[in-house]
């Protein structure tokens, strides 16, 4: 953390952050994918010691609207990293990411807050690099997969190195698209993680290691390998009881040759495909009732400043 006294900008800063999906099957807490549906945040520094927060869209009635709002907390962590916190902040948030659905709503808020803090400081880019942003965001989120994709865009591989979140971006084949099937009811990440066993078999671990390695190649060069490359034995089946309809849909799609996975901690189902619009419509029909379908392009850029 720098100890320099900061010069805050007086103008409004605006940031958009893409929806993200994590795991992608075998890459538990490792793989992330940014998708082109964006939460939007605008913030300004205030001379008064107040936190003026207004939220519209998804989760507007559920989130705190004071200094405990996740975007505000992330902004303050960013300012602290750079050396000085402001007295007050005005924040406006337009949320499109469904909460507790496995689409990275908390990662969006965290990365959005850190990016806003950097944008509101003169010379902020020199005081907080993207690598440092990923590290700070990992501290706030607890794991690096979603935040890495939200920062870097595209597909990412993230890991912890001596407790520090790190990530690299990998290319995504131009034909790959995503279909998100979002159920009405959510599931907290904390509850989903409690369903995981403390130990798994060596064969299951070896299988996932091989499929995760193959997934890098499938995403970048061989979309035809997505079905086999997204096979998972480590986490989805253990969470199935908490999201029975989603897990049943994943199994049904995969039996039909479609690369479907649970998005993050669920319960959204994510399909990675190269299908035509007509084929996508057939997938949506096959999902049946109870799911809202969103056809999404890969977002090759992470957070963006307006």
Looking at residues 243-267, what average pLDDT do you find?
94
pLDDT for the residue numbered 3: 52
What global pTM score does this model have? 0.94
Separation between Cα atoms, residue 62 and residue 98, nearest integer Å: 12
Is residue 241 very low, low, confident or very high in pLDDT (cuts 50, 70, 90)? confident
Q: What are phi and psi of 251, to 5 degrees?
A: -65, -40
Q: How far apart are the first and last CA of the chain?
A: 27
Query: Computed over its alpha carbons, how large is the radius of gyration of the chain?
Result: 19
Of the residues 147, 171, 195, the one at which a domain ends: 171
* Residue of 70, 126, 74 lying closest to 95 (CA atoms): 70
Residue 208 CB neighbour total at 10 angstroms = 21
Of the residues 136, 171, 206, the one at which a domain ends: 171
Residues 51 and 159 occupy one common structural domain: yes
Separation between Cα atoms, residue 134 and residue 124, nearest integer Å: 15
Residue 56: inside a domain, yes or no?
yes
Residue 6: inside a domain, yes or no?
no
pLDDT for the residue numbered 1: 46
Separation between Cα atoms, residue 26 and residue 232, nearest integer Å: 5
Domain that holds residue 248: 177-297
Residues 195 and 167 occupy one common structural domain: no
Given a contact cutoff of 8 angstroms between Cβ atoms, the answer to whether 72 and 53 are in contact is: yes
Count of domains forming the chain:
2
pLDDT digits (tens, 9 = 90+) for 185-217: 888 878 888 889 899 999 999 999 999 999 999
Judged against a pLDDT cut of 50, whether residue 2 lies above it is answered with no
Residues 204 and 106 occupy one common structural domain: no
**Bridge partner residues of 156 (DSSP):** 32, 169
Of the residues 129, 152, 171, the one at which a domain ends: 171
Judged against a pLDDT cut of 70, whether residue 279 lies above it is answered with yes
């Amino acid at each position: 953390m720098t100890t320099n006294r900061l010069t805050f900008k007086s103008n409004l800063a605006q940031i958009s952050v893409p929806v993200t999906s994590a795991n992608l099957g075998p890459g538990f807490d490792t793989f992330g994918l940014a998708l082109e549906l964006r939460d939007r945040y605008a913030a300004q520094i205030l001379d008064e010691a107040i936190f003026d927060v207004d939220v519209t869209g998804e989760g507007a009635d559920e989130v705190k609207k004071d200094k405990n709002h996740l975007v505000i907390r992330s902004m303050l962590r960013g300012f602290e990293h750079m050396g000085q916190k402001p007295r007050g902040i005005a924040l406006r948030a337009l949320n499109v990411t469904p909460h507790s659905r496995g689409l990275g709503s908390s990662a969006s808020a965290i990365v959005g807050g850190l990016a806003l803090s950097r944008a509101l400081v003169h010379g902020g880019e020199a005081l907080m690099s993207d690598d440092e942003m990923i590290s700070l965001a990992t501290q706030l989120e607890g794991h690096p997969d979603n935040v890495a994709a939200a920062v870097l865009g595209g597909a990412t591989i993230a890991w912890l190195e001596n407790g520090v979140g790190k990530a690299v971006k990998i290319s995504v084949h131009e034909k790959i698209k995503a279909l998100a099937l979002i159920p009405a009811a959510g599931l907290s990440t904390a509850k989903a993680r409690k369903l995981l066993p403390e130990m798994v078999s060596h064969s299951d671990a070896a299988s996932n290691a091989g499929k995760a390695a193959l997934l890098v190649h499938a995403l970048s060069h061989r979309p035809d390998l997505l079905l086999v490359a997204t096979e998972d034995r480590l986490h989805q089946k253990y969470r199935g009881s908490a999201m029975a309809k989603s897990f049943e849909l994943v199994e049904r799609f995969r039996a039909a040759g479609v690369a479907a996975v649970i998005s993050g901690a669920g319960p959204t189902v994510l399909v990675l495909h190269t299908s035509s619009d007509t084929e996508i419509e057939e997938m949506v029909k096959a999902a049946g009732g109870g799911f809202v379908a969103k056809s999404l392009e890969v977002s090759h850029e992470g957070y963006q400043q307006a």
